């Protein structure tokens, strides 16, 4: 269990990071700061999460091992 303590920290940090990023974007959306198509914004958010999250996690594993 102790060996995976660092991994718990990484996953918790990523969860908070992506949650706050998405919440900030959605708050700006609600405040009508975005003039772009809402579908494009959602597609971009999803793409960023799908592409970046696995790469960040992989990089942390490689750095730790």
Concatenated DSSP letters of 37-65: -HHHHHHHHHHHHHHHHHHHHHHHHHHH-
Q: Which regions in the chain score pLDDT beneath 70?
A: 1-4
Residue 43: CB atoms within 10 Å:
11
Question: Are 45 and 25 contacting, i.e. CB atoms less than 8 angstroms apart?
Answer: yes
Helix and strand counts by DSSP (H, E) for the chain: 2, 0
Q: Please give the model's pTM, rounded to 2 decimal places.
A: 0.72
pLDDT at res. 4: 64
pLDDT at res. 1: 47
pLDDT at res. 37: 84
CA distance 39 to 63: 36
């Amino acid at each position: 269990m102790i060996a995976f303590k660092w991994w718990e920290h990484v996953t918790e940090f990523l969860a908070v990071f992506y949650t706050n990023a998405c919440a900030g974007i959605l708050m700006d959306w609600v405040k009508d700061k975005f003039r772009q198509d809402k579908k494009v914004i959602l597609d971009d958010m999803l793409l960023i999460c799908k592409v970046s999250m696995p790469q960040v996690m992989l990089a942390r594993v490689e750095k730790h091992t």
